[in-house]
């Protein structure tokens, strides 16, 4: 070999070395597992009934952030799913509830009249993430890999599949209870992949009724996730992919039967079994230590007030929709010449009808103050806040901060109320046995946050962490930019390993 050839060989080798050095080390697959309505203490309440290969495996071999809180109000499903994957809050991502009002119009968080159902002929597929204003982990992963990564969301609830998957997702699949199958929308594709059609045929009729109300719905969700893993070859293609899974049945069952009941117990024990099975599949298909998984929840749940009252613990129910109706009537007595001045109530927030207030020649601030004065007379309500001026409210700082993070001027309403502890918005009846959520309190805002797998150290921390820290932690580990409205910070005990 002459000198020139040796020099050329050295150049090629140097370039190859630089290329190898420049390669970013990433896991083969990122898996998000959100359990709808899972209180943090459920990690331990079922500890003696969990098996060794599900939740316990995550706790034993992963890293648990034991003091993870939701930093905003209200604590509801759509906001929780959006906030985990965007790393921000309603103030920035714009998902202000499962339903909220825009210009006096009640909108559903994922409703989209411009798209059609794919997989059924019902309206349940007319969904997309178009109301969400921020990017997600999956969107940023797509950008970082020049859109070679695959991102898929799966859940029984449409919002729990759509919002985590993000805007640029390859697919989101959710259950159409009218058709009895998984569907998507034309936002993602015009025809179901053959494997989804095959899955639907195989499982059609497996569950009688709505799977969101049955532990079998947990199994169905994991079955669909495994089918996506197999057929889309997620984490098996030489690119880092992402699979966002949400378990919805725990929420449906929890609302109906409450916490610490046989029905809810069955749902969580089924989740533990199916999680163990799913982890075994990931180990076999992707490889132990080759995937990064996190487990969290969109919100918690209050204990049933009738149960608490039996044990002398102050609690109660507040029928917020009745309060909204009475407030509307009260304002009518003050301003008989005006049309309806209250658009509605949603998740501890009251929306005033700005257009009707203006038509009547009234001041928005005047009507707001009249409404707030009336609401303060309700002995179930502890604080009534001018939402637009929440930063100056005379309330504990922790509540003030969560109000500010939950406020979006176009979508979040005009008046926020904070009920007394353990008084939550639901039916107020002596035979009520269910539960709900939405408040700032720890029972609704303290959620599990466990990381497991690729480069995750064993351990735990009790330092304050937040739901919005999950996205920047994942992104830091992947060496990609955090979502474009991210407010959280990477959890360094995990990301710096």
Nearest to 160 by CA among 224, 69, 236, 235: 224
Active site residue 77: yes
Q: Which of 68, 75, 77, 221 is an active site residue?
A: 77
Helix, strand, coil % (nearest 5) of the chain?
Answer: 40, 20, 40
Give the integer Cα–Cα distance in Å for 82 and 85: 6
Q: Which helix (H) or strand (E) holds 310?
A: helix 305-310
Give the integer Cα–Cα distance in Å for 485 and 380: 36
* Two tokens, residue 226: 């495994």
Instruction: Annotate 421-463 with three-state secondary structure.
Output: CCEEECCCCCCCCCCCCCCCCHHHHEECEEEEECCCCCEEECC
Nearest to 152 by CA among 188, 199, 98: 188
Nearest to 462 by CA among 66, 69, 68: 66
Give the integer Cα–Cα distance in Å for 421 and 438: 12
Phi-psi region of 413 (alpha: psi -120 to 50; beta: other; left: phi over 0): left
Would you name the residues annotated as active-site residues? 77
């Amino acid at each position: 070999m002459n000198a020139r050839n040796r020099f050329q060989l050295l150049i090629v080798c140097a370039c190859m070395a630089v290329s190898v050095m420049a390669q970013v080390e990433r896991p083969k697959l990122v898996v998000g597992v959100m359990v709808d309505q899972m209180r943090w203490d459920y990690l331990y309440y079922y500890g003696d009934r969990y098996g060794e290969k599900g939740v316990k495996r995550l706790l034993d071999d992963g890293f648990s952030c034991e003091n993870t809180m939701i930093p905003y109000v209200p604590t509801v499903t759509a906001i929780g799913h959006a906030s985990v994957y965007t790393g921000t809050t309603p103030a920035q991502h714009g998902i202000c509830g499962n339903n909220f009002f825009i210009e006096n119009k009640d909108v559903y968080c994922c409703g989209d009249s411009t798209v059609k159902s794919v997989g059924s002929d019902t309206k349940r597929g007319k969904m997309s993430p178009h109301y969400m204003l921020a990017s997600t982990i999956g969107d940023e992963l797509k950008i970082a890999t020049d859109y070679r990564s695959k991102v898929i969301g799966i859940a029984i609830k449409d919002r729990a599949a759509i919002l985590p998957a993000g805007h640029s997702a390859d697919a989101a699949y959710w259950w159409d209870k009218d058709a009895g199958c998984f569907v998507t929308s034309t936002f993602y594709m015009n025809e179901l992949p053959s494997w989804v059609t095959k899955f639907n045929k195989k499982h059609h009729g497996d569950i009688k009724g709505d799977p969101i109300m049955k532990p079998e719905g947990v199994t169905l969700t994991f079955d669909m996730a495994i089918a996506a893993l197999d057929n889309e070859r997620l984490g098996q293609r030489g690119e880092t992919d992402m699979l966002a899974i949400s378990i919805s049945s725990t929420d449906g069952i929890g609302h109906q039967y409450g916490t610490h009941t046989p029905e809810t117990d069955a749902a969580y024990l089924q989740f533990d079994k199916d999680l163990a099975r799913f982890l075994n599949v990931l180990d076999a298909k992707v490889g132990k230590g080759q995937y990064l998984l996190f487990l969290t929840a969109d919100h918690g749940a209050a204990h049933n007030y009738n149960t608490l009252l039996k044990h002398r613990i102050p609690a109660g129910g507040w029928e917020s929709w009745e309060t909204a109706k009475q407030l509307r009537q009260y304002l009518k007595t003050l301003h008989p010449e005006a049309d309806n001045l209250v658009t509605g109530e949603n998740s501890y927030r009251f929306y005033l009808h700005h257009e009707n207030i203006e038509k009547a020649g009234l001041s928005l601030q005047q009507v707001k103050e009249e409404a707030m004065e009336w609401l303060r007379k309700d002995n179930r309500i502890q604080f009534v806040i001018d939402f637009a001026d929440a930063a100056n409210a005379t309330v504990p700082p922790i509540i003030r901060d969560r109000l500010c993070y939950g406020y979006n001027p176009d979508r979040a309403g005009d008046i926020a109320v904070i009920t007394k502890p353990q008084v939550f918005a639901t039916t107020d009846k002596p035979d009520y046995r269910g539960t709900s959520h939405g408040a700032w309190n720890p029972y609704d805002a303290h959620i599990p946050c466990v990381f497991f797998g690729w480069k995750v150290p064993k351990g735990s921390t009790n330092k304050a962490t937040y739901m919005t820290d999950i996205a920047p932690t994942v992104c830091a580990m992947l060496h990609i930019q955090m979502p474009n409205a991210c407010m959280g910070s990477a959890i360094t005990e995990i990301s710096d390993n």
